Structure formats: C-alpha cells, structure tokens
C-alpha cells in the first residue's frame, strides 16, 4: 500500500517537474517574441523612455533564463 502511494507521489513529482520546465520554456519563447515586438514598436514610434522598455524586455528574458537554470538545477 505504502509503495503504491510513494510511486504515485514520485510520478506526480516527475510530471510536476516537466510541467514547470515546459512552462518556463513557453515563457522564454514569449520573452523572445516580446523583445522582437518591442524592437519593432520602438523602430516605428519613437517616444521618450523607450530605452527603458527595451531594457525591460531583455531583463524579462534574462529572468526567464535564470528561472530555467534554477528549475533544472534544483529539481
């Protein structure tokens, strides 16, 4: 009985781990597209503080990479 419960928990953990990895990968794809879109928008429309927005988009991507590393290292 205990073995089957442990097995279930272990399967759930593996599923959860890959779910997290997949989630972060999807987020990284989004962050890359966002960098591209911000670039296109700032090329078309120059407004003050657009450098900050470009920086924000890159920061978002960097953060996603960092989280991916954390997920892979910790789990």
Partner 1 sequence: MSTKKELPIPPEMQKGVLLKEMTVDDELVQNLEELKESESLGALSVFPQQVTFETQEEDEQVVLVMRKAPVTNIKWALIAGLLALMPAFIVVLGVLSDYLDSSYLLVAMIVWELFVVGYIFEEFLRWFFNIYIVTDRRVVDIDYPNFLWREVSDVDLLKIQDVTTRNQGIMAAIFNFGDIWVLSAAEMTTIEYLAVKEADNVAGIIRLLAQARERVVRGEGGTNDG
Q: Which residues sit at the interface with partner 1, rule CB under 8 A?
A: 9, 12-13, 16-17, 20, 23-24, 27, 30-31, 33-34, 37-38, 41, 44-49, 53, 56-57, 60, 63-64, 67, 70-71, 74-75
Residue among 3 and 16 whose Cβ is closer to partner 1: 16
What distance separates the 2 farthest-apart alpha carbons in the chain? Answer: 66
Residue 20: CB minimum distance to partner 1, A = 5
Residue among 2 and 74 whose Cβ is closer to partner 1: 74
Q: How many angstroms separate the CA atoms of 42 and 64, rounded?
A: 22
Q: DSSP readout, 9-25?
A: HHHHHHHHHHHHHHHHH
Residue with tokens 């989630």: 23
């Amino acid at each position: 009985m205990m073995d089957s419960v442990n097995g279930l928990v272990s399967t759930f953990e593996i599923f959860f781990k890959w779910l997290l990895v997949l989630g972060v990968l999807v987020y990284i794809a989004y962050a890359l597209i966002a960098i591209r879109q911000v670039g296109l928008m700032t090329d078309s429309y120059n407004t003050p503080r657009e450098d900050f927005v470009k920086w924000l988009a890159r920061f978002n991507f960097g953060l996603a990479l960092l989280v991916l590393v954390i997920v892979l290292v910790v789990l």
